[in-house]
Amino acid sequence: MNKKEIEKQCGYQLPSNIGFTLENNQLEVVISNKSLDENMQEDSSAFEGWIICLMAIFKNDATNCIKSVNIQFNETPSFKNCSAKDLQFYYRLYKAQKNYGWTIEACDKIEEITSWKDKSIVLTTASAEAQKEAANIEAKLERIFIENHSNGKRKIYQQLPLGLFNNSVAKKNRLLPTSYLDMWEIDNNTLKLYELKAKRNTKVGILSELIYYTNIIEDFIYGNYEFTKSKRDYRGIDKLKECQKEKCIKKIQGIFLTDGLHPMIANNKEVILEILNNRKNTTTLDIIFSFEEKQGLFIRLQRFQRKRKSAS
């Protein structure tokens, strides 16, 4: 099947900048240069999300069941003078090959430039606690969720910066862009990572984002890199450092926290989780994913907004 035939068969429009063909139970994926430049939650870059959705949709189709995935570039990159965005995309490809067994063009070269075996890698650290005032709807939802679920025994942190640098945090040393994990907490020996989306934010890229954050955190917990040294730790980073040192984390759970999903995901959640959780663990950590509804957060948000409006 070509791309139009796949769209007709599955009932959904696929991103214009990623090519798809399905023949003999193999999904061929062609990545464009634009995919490297876009943020991973955008349709043209979220290759992991689209592939997993198609695998879920065709799972029970005897003729078109996807048994293997092959990813190629429409123009083979030179892999020279890579930007942080480029390296982030290559890192995602490398992890897709390791975790799900997908075949990646130039995989050896991609592994060479994203394994950083000859470098001393550090994660950026937070310079202050998260702002008390929410800047947008999703930030407000984070605060409401934390307010509803935190207590004396349970502590949920928010906005963990995740940017990789060589040796020290400096512009010239940047390897990967700094992005922010929405929320996280430690529950006994499980590290829970939350990716929160507002109801109207229903992009397939939610899958790609949480897969990426989970991989970064897994590499950190396993000891592949450390947080850069700082005089004071914010946003619970001291707890993560302690977990890495004591090796007390045995499981990482990636949680999709939303009550609004793209229909490709919403209609295939169980199968998508089966695919996500069937990953090949490359460390001793157990990695699982789950969906969790926000349980009335939007009602609380509306009340919160009305209260602030009346107060002003």
pLDDT tens per residue across span 78-87: 999 999 999 9
CA distances from 134 to 40, 139, 159 (A): 23, 5, 12
Place of tokens 């040796």: 167
In angstroms, the CA 254 to CA 279 distance is: 13
Q: What does the CA dihedral 62, 64, 67, 72 come to, rounded to 10 degrees? A: 180
Most trustworthy range by pLDDT among 52-61, 108-117, 136-145 = 52-61
- Whether residue 131 is predicted with pLDDT greater than 80 in this model: the reply is no
Rounded to an integer, the average pLDDT of 126-137 is: 78
In angstroms, the CA 262 to CA 258 distance is: 11
* 3-state SS string for the chain: CCHHHHHHHHCCCCCCCEEEEEECCEEEEEECHHHHHCCCCCCCCCHHHHHHHHHHHCCCCCCCCCCEEEEEECCCCCCCCCCHHHHHHHHHHHHHHHHHCCEECCHHHHHHHHHCCCCCEEECCCCCCCCCCCCCHHHHHHHHHHHHHCCCCCCCEEEEEECEEECCCCHHHECCCCEEEEEEEEECCEEEEEEECCCCCCCCHHHHHHHHHHHHHHHHHHCCCEECCCCCCCCCHHHHHHHHHHCCCCEEEEEEECCCCCHHHHCCHHHHHHHHCCCCCCCCCEEEEEEECCCCHHHHHHHHHHHHHHHC
pLDDT of residue 282: 80
In angstroms, the CA 159 to CA 11 distance is: 36
Cα–Cα–Cα angle for 300, 301, 307, rounded to 5 degrees: 90
- Whether residue 127 is predicted with pLDDT greater than 90 in this model: the reply is no
Share of the chain above pLDDT 70, in %: 93
Rounded to an integer, the average pLDDT of 203-209 is: 97
In angstroms, the CA 272 to CA 133 distance is: 35
Ramachandran sector of residue 235 (left: φ over 0; alpha: ψ -120 to 50; beta: rest): left
Dmax over CA atoms of the chain, in Å, equals 63
pLDDT of residue 200: 78
Rounded to two decimals, what is the model's pTM? 0.92
Instruction: Tell me the two tokens of residue 35.
Output: 């995919």
pLDDT of residue 147: 83
**Torsions phi, psi of 68, nearest 5?**
-150, 155
In angstroms, the CA 91 to CA 114 distance is: 6
Q: Which residues lie closer than 8 Å to 229 by C-beta, 6 or more apart?
A: none
Count the alpha carbons within 13 Å of 231 in the hemisphere toward its beta carbon. 2
CA distances from 279 to 178, 257, 282 (A): 25, 21, 9
Residue 302 pLDDT class (50, 70, 90 cuts): low
pLDDT of residue 281: 78
